[in-house]
């Protein structure tokens, strides 16, 4: 029942996405602009064990794609809620968990496709990273996108309008981006800022992907990244399922 309902809803939302090629490719535009215009500025910087400029920047841009793209996924739920679509779905026998999974799996596939485009562009510009490390990076993007899309839908169900949802997401996402070290490793930051960044779970994901891109897999940084990603995923699914079960459309 759960698998069938999830597959049906995933197919519905996937078809909606395929009818809008603009949505598929435009989401990767901002990370690509950072890649083209910011990446060359890092060339020659003393980044130490963190790797070369591309091995530092590309992992950050991958997670930036997931962070901002998935965080704003809830706009679709607000529209469905206002149009009565969500209410009609909730009166059917469809699994409440499937209502969440169908959406988040579509988002995950979409952003993973955009992540592949970003890495291909980075390889053309000079990125050198082992294939296992690149695959590890895609794994982290998958978990981050799935988690944040779920939490975005939770927030969208709690807020009545896009006018409230947009500023709320910006207020949460911008500090997370700045303190996670997406652009540069937080080890280069002043001591107080480095300490503060340890309270942001996204930092551990970024550092883990950077380790993977330099071929370091069996490290404490990788372990912390896996634990942070797994914990975020469990939290998102738990909160998301409860919200879809109890929220009034």
Question: Tens-of-pLDDT digits for all 249 residues of the chain?
Answer: 778 778 888 888 888 888 877 777 777 777 888 888 877 776 665 554 445 778 888 998 899 888 888 888 888 888 777 777 767 766 666 777 777 888 899 989 988 998 999 999 999 888 889 999 999 999 999 999 999 999 998 888 888 788 888 888 888 888 888 888 887 778 777 888 888 888 989 999 999 999 999 999 999 999 999 999 999 999 998 888 888 776 544
pLDDT of residue 91: 65
pLDDT of residue 45: 58
Q: What's this model's pTM, rounded to 2 decimal places?
A: 0.85
pLDDT of residue 227: 96
CA dist., res. 3 & res. 94, Å (int): 11
CA dist., res. 62 & res. 210, Å (int): 11
Q: How many CB atoms lie within 10 A of CB 23?
A: 12
pLDDT of residue 66: 85
CA dist., res. 49 & res. 206, Å (int): 14
pLDDT of residue 222: 95
Q: How many domains does the chain fold into?
A: 1
Close Cβ partners of 157 (under 8 Å, ≥ 6 residues apart): 74, 77, 81, 243, 244, 247
pLDDT of residue 90: 65
CA dist., res. 157 & res. 119, Å (int): 34
pLDDT of residue 80: 77
pLDDT of residue 148: 92
CA dist., res. 100 & res. 68, Å (int): 19
pLDDT of residue 16: 82
Range of the domain at 173: 2-40+49-246
Task: Determine the distance from the C-alpha atom of residue 185 to the mean position of all C-alpha atoms in its chain, rounded to a whole number.
Answer: 19
């Amino acid at each position: 029942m759960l698998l069938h309902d999830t597959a049906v809803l995933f197919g519905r939302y996937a078809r909606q996405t395929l009818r809008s090629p603009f949505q598929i490719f435009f989401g990767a535009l901002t990370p690509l602009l950072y890649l083209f215009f910011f990446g060359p500025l890092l060339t020659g910087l003393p980044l130490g064990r963190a790797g070369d400029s591309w091995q530092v920047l590309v992992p950050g841009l991958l997670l930036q794609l997931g962070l901002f793209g998935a965080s704003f996924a809830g706009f679709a739920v607000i529209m469905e809620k206002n149009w009565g679509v969500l209410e009609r779905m909730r009166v059917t026998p469809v699994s409440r968990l499937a209502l969440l999974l169908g959406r988040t799996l579509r988002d995950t596939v979409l952003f993973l496709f955009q992540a592949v485009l970003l890495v291909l562009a980075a390889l053309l510009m000079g990125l050198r990273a082992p294939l296992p490390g690149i695959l590890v990076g895609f794994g982290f993007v998958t978990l981050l996108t799935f988690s944040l899309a779920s939490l975005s839908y939770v927030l969208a169900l709690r807020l009545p309008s896009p006018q409230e949802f947009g500023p709320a997401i910006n207020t949460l996402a911008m500090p997370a981006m700045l303190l996670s070290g997406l652009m540069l490793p937080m080890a280069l930051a002043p001591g107080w800022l480095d300490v503060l960044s340890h309270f942001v779970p996204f930092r551990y994901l970024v550092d883990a992907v950077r380790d993977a891109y330099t071929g370091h897999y069996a490290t404490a940084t990788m372990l912390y990244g896996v634990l942070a990603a797994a914990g975020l995923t469990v939290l998102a699914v738990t909160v998301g399922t409860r919200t879809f079960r109890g929220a009034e459309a």
